[in-house]
């Protein structure tokens, strides 16, 4: 990096998958990188590369405030915030308890929002910064039995757009990354939870079908490597004027385009055809 002052970044959900690869890329780019996740043990490799690991459950306000306090005390804030932590809750709306639905929003929406709130004052005082929100192609499309998951990703997209407008006068960029099918553990987590929750009862047939399709789709080398998303994040944070959105990963661009141009009924048919 050309700046004499080493810039600082925070990456959440850095214990695996995209978060881990994003952290590795930013470390190699020369950032001082803080990494956060519920388990510090899963970030030991990042610490060996030079990262500062922090225990943080993004649904726990006390842990968020404690982590931010450490960052402010040591570095005075961050230049880049990557809100990557999240998970997918799948199942029939009828079967998902409201507490589970609220927790999905706590992790995927309110956690990133709270972290952003606490780190914004230092960014605003510097008159610079980049906030990267990892949503999903699922923030623009929808899939069967994914009502609550897609609700959070659509919410994060809208939240990011409004945030971009209000922070522009302070020199702070807000960037949305919309990954497609990425080689992570997402598929197994979704399928296991789905079968456990709705593998029997009135939604058993459709739940088993979605679980089967999900397991077949994720893993097996069929998706895009997480490093691709890390490259996109790196490009965004180094851009003089980053794009508002970056779409990357298998299926992302065609699925978003199909949803946009062919309409709801045609998209419904395409989604349902995959469940046979």
Does residue 204 lie within any of the structural domains? no
Domain holding 237: CATH number? 3.40.50.720
Of 149, 203, 218, 246, the catalytic one is 149
Tokens for 187, please give them.
């598929």
> Residue 240 is part of which domain span?
8-188+224-274
Total structural domains in the chain?
A: 1
**Is residue 45 domain-resident?**
yes
- CA torsion sign, 48 to 51 to 54 to 59? negative
Instruction: Tell me the pLDDT of the chain (276 aa) as tens digits.
Output: 444 578 999 999 999 999 999 999 999 999 999 999 999 999 999 999 999 999 999 999 999 999 999 999 999 999 999 999 999 999 999 999 999 999 999 999 999 999 999 999 999 999 999 999 999 999 999 999 999 999 999 999 999 999 999 999 999 999 999 999 998 777 778 888 888 888 788 999 999 889 888 888 776 677 899 999 999 999 999 999 999 999 999 999 999 999 999 999 999 999 998 776
Question: Looking at the domain assignment, is residue 202 inside a domain?
Answer: no
Name the residue with tokens 């956060």: 36
Establish if 194 belongs to a structural domain: no
Q: Where are the alpha helices (H) located in the chain, listed in sequence order? A: 17-28, 44-48, 61-75, 98-105, 111-126, 147-167, 186-198, 204-217, 226-238, 252-262, 264-273
Tokens, residue 158: 């809208």
Q: Do the domain assignments include residue 207? A: no
* Residue 220: predicted pLDDT: 65
Catalytic-residue membership of 149? yes
Rounded distance, CA 251 to CA 240, Å? 28
Cβ atoms within 10 Å of 155's Cβ, excluding its own: 17
- pTM across the whole model: 0.94
Q: How many CB atoms lie within 10 A of CB 29?
A: 17
22: in domain? yes
pLDDT at 219: 66
**Is 203 part of a structural domain of the chain?**
no
Q: Give the β-pairing of 80-83 and 52-55.
A: unpaired
In a domain, 196, yes or no: no
């Amino acid at each position: 990096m050309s700046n004499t002052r080493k810039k600082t970044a925070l990456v959440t959900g850095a214990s695996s998958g995209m978060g881990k690869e994003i952290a590795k890329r930013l470390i190699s780019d020369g950032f001082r990188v803080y990494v956060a996740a519920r388990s510090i043990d899963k970030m030991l490799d990042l610490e060996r590369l030079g990262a500062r690991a922090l225990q943080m459950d993004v649904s726990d306000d006390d842990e968020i405030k404690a982590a931010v306090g450490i960052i402010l005390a040591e570095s005075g804030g961050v230049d880049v915030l990557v809100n990557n932590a999240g998970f997918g809750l799948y199942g029939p709306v009828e079967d998902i308890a409201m507490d589970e639905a609220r927790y999905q929003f706590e992790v995927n929406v309110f956690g990133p929002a709270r972290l952003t709130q606490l780190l914004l004052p230092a960014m605003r005082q510097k008159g610079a910064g980049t906030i990267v929100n990892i949503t999903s192609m699922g923030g623009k499309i929808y899939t069967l039995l994914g009502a609550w998951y897609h609700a959070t990703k659509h919410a994060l997209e809208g939240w990011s757009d409004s945030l971009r407008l209000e922070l522009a006068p302070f020199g702070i960029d807000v960037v949305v990354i919309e990954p497609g099918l990425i080689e992570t553990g997402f598929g197994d987590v979704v399928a296991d939870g789905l079968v456990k929750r709705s593998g029997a009862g009135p939604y058993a047939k459709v739940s088993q079908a979605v679980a089967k399709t999900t397991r077949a789709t994720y893993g097996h080398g069929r998706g895009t490597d997480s490093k691709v998303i890390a490259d996109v994040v790196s490009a965004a944070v180094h851009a003089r004027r980053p794009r508002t959105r970056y779409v990357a990963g298998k299926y992302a661009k065609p699925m978003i385009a199909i949803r946009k141009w062919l309409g709801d009924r045609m998209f419904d048919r395409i989604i349902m055809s995959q469940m046979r």
